[in-house]
Amino acid sequence: MDHNPLEQFEIHRLADFTVGGLDASFTNSSLAMVINVLVVFGFLILASWRAGMVPGRWQSMAEMTYEFVANMLTDAAGLEARRFFPFVFTVFTFVLCANLLGLIPLIFTTTSHIIVTFAMAAFIFILVTLVGFVRHGFGFLRLFAPSGVPWPMLVILMPIEMISYLIRPISLSVRLFANMMAGHTLLKVFGGFVAALGLLGIFPMVFLVLFTGLELLVAVLQAYVFAVLTCIYLNDALHPHH
C-alpha cells in the first residue's frame, strides 16, 4: 500500500473542459470547493429555517458565527467597515469549512494549494487597495508615510512600508497554505506508521489522535487569522495613517 504523504495533494481531472483554449477541467479540487460552498449554504439555510426568538441548536451556531465575525470586523476596522461584513463573513466561513472538510478522509483540502490561497489573498489585496484609493484618492499613500517621522527618515521608511504592503498577498497566502500542507503531511506520515507497524502501531496511533486534535485547532485558528488580517487590511484602507 502506498503511503506517499504528498499523494493527497495531487490534482486529478474528473471532467475535461476547455474554454478559449484554456484548461478549465473539473478536478478533485473543484469538487471539494463545490462541496465546501454547499456545506456553508446548507448550514446557513438549516440555521435560518423556522428561526425563532428562542434559537435552536443550528440557529444558535449561526448567530454565534455572525456575532463573532461582526465583532472581529468592528474591533479591527471600526464601525465604518460593517458594510464589508458579507465579504469578510464569506471569507471566514469558506476558509474555515475548507480547512475542516480537509480533515475528513478522501476530501481534498483546497487550502493546502498555494494557487488557491494566493488567489484569495490577491483578490483581498486588490479589493482593499481599490477601497483605499476610491475613499481617499492619492491621500491613501499616507499609509506609507508614518506620522511624526522626520522627512529625512521617510526616504528610508517609505520604501520599506511599500514593500511590506506589496508582499501582503504572499504572506497571507503562504501562512495558510504552509500550515495546512504541513499538518496534513504529518497526519499522513503517522497514519502510514500505524499501518506499517501492526500491533506496535498503537504508539503512533496515540500521537495521531492527539495530532488530529491539534490540527483541528489549527484549522480553526488559521481561518481566524486569515479573516482578521483581512479586517486589518480593510482598516488600513479606511483609516490610513495621518
- Mean pLDDT across the chain: 86
pLDDT of residue 229: 96
Pull the grid cell for residue 208: 495521531
Contact predicate 60/45, CB 8 Å: no
Report the domain count for the chain: 1
Residue 1, in any domain of the structure: no
Return the pLDDT at 195: 63
Evaluate whether 52 touches 118 at the Cβ level (below 8 Å): no
Which amino acid, residue 23?
D
pLDDT of residue 89: 96
For residue 76, tell me if it sits in a domain.
yes
DSSP 8-state code for residue 162? H
- Whether 74 maps to a domain, the answer reads yes
> For residue 78, how far is the Cα from the chain centroid?
21
Q: Count of residues for the chain? A: 242
| Residue 41 placed within a domain | yes
Per-residue cell: 125: 489585496
User: Is there a domain that residue 2 lies in?
Assistant: no
CB contact at 8 A, 13 and 25: yes
Domain containing 116 equals 7-238
Cα 95 to Cα 111: distance, rounded to the nearest angstrom: 7
Q: For the chain, which ranges sit under pLDDT 70?
A: 1-3, 5, 51, 192-201, 241-242
